Amino acid sequence: MQRKRSVVTDEASAQQPTEETDMEVVAYSTAEEYSLEGLVRGLQEQNLYHPSAMSEDVHDVLHVAARYTLGAEPREIYLFREGTVVFWNVPELERRSVLDFLRQFEEGSYDSATVEEESDSMPYSYTEVFNKTRLVNGRILLNMEGSTDLEKYAFSNAMALSVKLGIWESALETYIDSIKHVTEELRKGGRIIMKKEEVLKKNGELFGLRHLINLSSDCLDTPDFYWDKDNLESLYQKTCNHLNIAKRTRVMNEKLNHCVELADLLTSNLQDQHHVRLEWMIIALIMVEVGFEVVHFLERYT
Highest mean pLDDT among 41-55, 173-187, 202-216, 231-245: 231-245
Contacts with 57 (C-beta within 8 Å, 6 or more apart), sequence order: 225
pLDDT tens figures, 236-282: 999 999 999 999 999 999 999 988 888 877 766 665 555 556 667 77
Question: Could you tell me the pLDDT band of residue 21, with boundaries at 50, 70 and 90?
Answer: low
The yes-or-no verdict on residue 19 having pLDDT over 60 is no
pLDDT at 275: 53
Give me the DSSP letters along 231-298. HHHHHHHHHHHHTTHHHHHHHHHHHHHHHHHHHHHHHHHHHHHHHHHHHHHHHHHHHHHHHHHHHHHH
The yes-or-no verdict on residue 6 having pLDDT over 50 is no
129 contacts 11 by C-beta, under 8 angstroms: yes
Contacts with 72 (C-beta within 8 Å, 6 or more apart), sequence order: 4, 5
Question: Could you tell me the pLDDT band of residue 184, with boundaries at 50, 70 and 90?
Answer: confident
pLDDT at 4: 37
pLDDT tens figures, 136-161: 999 999 988 766 789 999 999 999 99
pLDDT at 131: 75
Q: ∠ CA(47), CA(29), CA(31), 5° rounding?
A: 80
7-8 vs 120-127, strand pairing mode = parallel
- The C-alpha atoms of residue 188 and residue 181 are separated, in whole angstroms, by 11
155 contacts 80 by C-beta, under 8 angstroms: no
Question: Could you tell me the pLDDT band of residue 23, with boundaries at 50, 70 and 90?
Answer: very high
Ordered alpha helix ranges (H), 109-229: 112-117, 149-178, 180-188, 196-214
CA nearest 3: which of 109, 108, 89?
89
pLDDT tens figures, 72-114: 889 999 999 999 999 999 999 999 999 999 999 999 999 999 9
Distance of CA 107 to the CA centre of its chain: 14
Question: Could you tell me the pLDDT band of residue 124, with boundaries at 50, 70 and 90?
Answer: very high
DSSP state of 74: -
Q: In the chain, where are the structural domains located?
A: 7-146, 162-275
- The C-alpha atoms of residue 122 and residue 40 are separated, in whole angstroms, by 27
Whether the pTM exceeds 0.85: the reply is no
pLDDT at 1: 36
- The C-alpha atoms of residue 240 and residue 40 are separated, in whole angstroms, by 29
